[in-house]
């Protein structure tokens, strides 16, 4: 998985609780991305980062925030989880902004 790890790999949480997912890379790539994958929707971009402390919104950013204080780490936070945020979350990295390499995913269930 191209030197990308995601943690946790599985999480069950209750509605209204905050949740933070972590993406860690060892490739020193500039770009990092968070996607969610849901049946019938493919992969949808939540947020991405083009450098330390440089982030931008994607297609489905409402209810999510991100932070990148180091090149290797990109955090995704659900401030107050809702059942509609039950999904599989993938982190991806890219050196150039073209080829993207995905992590193994985090399965999040919000009850």
Partner 1 sequence: QQQVKQSPQSLIVQKGGISIINCAYENTAFDYFPWYQQFPGKGPALLIAIRPDVSEKKEGRFTISFNKSAKQFSLHIMDSQPGDSATYFCAALPGGNEKLTFGTGTRLTIIP
Task: By CB under 8 A, name the one of 27, 45, 52, 77 that touches partner 1.
Answer: 45
> Which residues share a beta bridge with 51?
54
Q: Which two tokens stand for residue 101?
A: 């390499």
- Out of 43, 67, 75, 86, point to the residue binding partner 1 (CB under 8 A): 43
Which of residues 85 and 94 has its CB atom nearest to partner 1 in the complex? 94
Phi, psi for residue 85 in degrees, rounded to 5 = -95, 5
Asked if residue 11 binds partner 1 (CB under 8 A), the reply is no
Of 59, 93, 97, 63, the C-alpha closest to 77 is: 63
**Is residue 37 classed as helix, strand or coil in its secondary structure?**
strand
Closer by beta carbon to partner 1, 46 or else 81:
46
Cα(38)–Cα(73) distance, integer angstroms: 24
- Span near partner 1 by CB under 8 A; candidates 16-24, 65-73, 76-84, 93-101: 93-101
Interface residue list for partner 1 (CB under 8 A):
1, 31, 33, 40-45, 48, 50, 58-59, 90, 92, 94, 97-105
């Amino acid at each position: 998985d191209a030197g990308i790890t995601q943690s946790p790999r599985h999480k069950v949480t209750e509605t209204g609780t905050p949740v933070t997912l972590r993406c860690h890379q060892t490739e020193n790539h500039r770009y990092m991305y968070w996607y969610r994958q849901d049946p019938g929707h493919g992969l949808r971009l939540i947020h991405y980062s083009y450098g330390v402390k440089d982030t931008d919104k994607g297609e489905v950013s409402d209810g999510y925030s991100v932070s990148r204080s180091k090149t290797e780490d990109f955090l995704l936070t659900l401030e107050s989880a809702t059942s509609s945020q039950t999904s599989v979350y993938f982190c991806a990295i890219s050196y150039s902004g073209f080829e993207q390499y995905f992590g193994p995913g985090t399965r999040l269930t919000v009850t």
